[in-house]
Structure 1
Amino acid sequence: MTDNVTVLITGASTGIGAIYADRFASRGHNLVLVARDAARLEALAKKLQAQYGVEAEIILADLTQAGELDAVAQRLRDDRRIGVLVNNAGMSLSGSFISQTSADINRMVALNLSAALTLAHAVAPRLAAAGKGSIINLSSVVGLAPEFGMTVYGATKAFILFLSQGLSIELGPQGVYVQAVLPAATRTEIWQRSGVDVNAMSGVMDADELVDAALVGYDRGEPVTIPPLYDEHQWTVNEQSRQAMLPGFSQQHPAPRYRNSSE
């Protein structure tokens, strides 16, 4: 999808982000790796440099902190070598909406939603002006399924899906490829950090399989890639049904079922 440009990956120290780093390095891309864990980032950077002969720079940043997020955003605005952004950093929470604290909810929204939005907004104008580049946003199937009971987490991921689809429509004609990747349960540390025993769950995908599948979708130029969905037709039908409603949204008067509240 791109020339041999530098790839900036958030949440790169472990899990999905680290595997994206490995896969892009194996394709010959230099890397900018962003996360909070200095020891893990340094170890990963040294490993990838030795294994693939690429440059791997690290940026220590907590993307829930405005100043540190702004520094990464400024790097995306200024560094013309960076042609791919992988918005991977994210977190989840255990418990229900009413048991979660406001502080934890706000931190999750800041990381899952605001940070991804800020970084995409930082890099998009430069990519559009160049007429090339890619933004990969990690969403989740939970953003399609309120029935899964992860209300705020799912809401942040629904936002990322909508953002990606909107950016795809807006930036695609300007040469910028935007992909939303929707994993289901994936074996990463996000579960341990949110207090969930992933080993007690069934149907959990390994992170390397998830990323390899996502990159197949990337190479094909898919706007939305859902690795765990076997029946691709279901997503096609979902999109066709949604788009079929669009003409019906432009109405001068309410639908007949809303015109008489006594009925």
Structure 2
Amino acid sequence: MTPIRHLPVIFVNGVPGAGNHTVAQTISNITGYSMIRPGELVAAEAQKDTARGRLIADKLQAREEISEQLTVDLIKEAMLMQKDATGFILVGFPKNPRMSNIFNRQVKWPEKIVALEVDNELAASRLQTKLSELGRPESEINAAHQIVKEAAHKVKNVHKRFGGHVVTVDSTGNPKALATTLKEILSDTIQKSQKKSTSPEPPVAISAPAVTNAPISAQAAISTPAPAPVSVLTPTPVPDDVAITAGGEDK
């Protein structure tokens, strides 16, 4: 199983329309890290005929927000499935401080937060275009400016929490200039991860607990022994900037 805690994690975080997906894809091309889009995970889970899948489908249908814990659970499961991953890039994550707190506590702190800077008017225009392409209601398309404005406040709070881990990138530039900038600001993270990958594995303790045939949950596989159980079927309705729906991250 992939030792997730020892793999580098990068958050790409900006308001809707800031170019989260474009920047994340550029970073993936540079580092070789696996890109995870929480919005796609939520949409895929909603198609499953399971208790959790039906819960998500109902919330998406009602235009209700998906709980932070449930979103993090889906991310953890996706990370655990990628056994050959050398690192992870989370797109448009986290949406708010509560979501980052859950991820930091249950998985790890990210090595870098790539904070995207973009003019709100440009971001809103991009968001309107995407919503129109997705066939969203006219009322939602017209609300793009308000969505970006509200998201900007929460994104700023997320960036404040991570302090020195945050690197700011102007996402209005051309792709080539952006790639050059990203290579420079991520060079230390890449070098550290390469050193870790070439370091010898630590010896396994002789007194390690016996392995049973019981299934291992995503939470148990990542956290320290005997973590408190977490229910993923009872979402806590906490305000978010933009509800995670199908295709939740922006391009």
Question: With CA pairs under 8 Å and 6+ residues apart, which has the higher RCO, 1 or 2?
Answer: 2
TM range (shorter): 0.3 to 0.5
Larger radius of gyration: 1
TM-score by length of 2: 0.34
TM-score by length of 1: 0.33
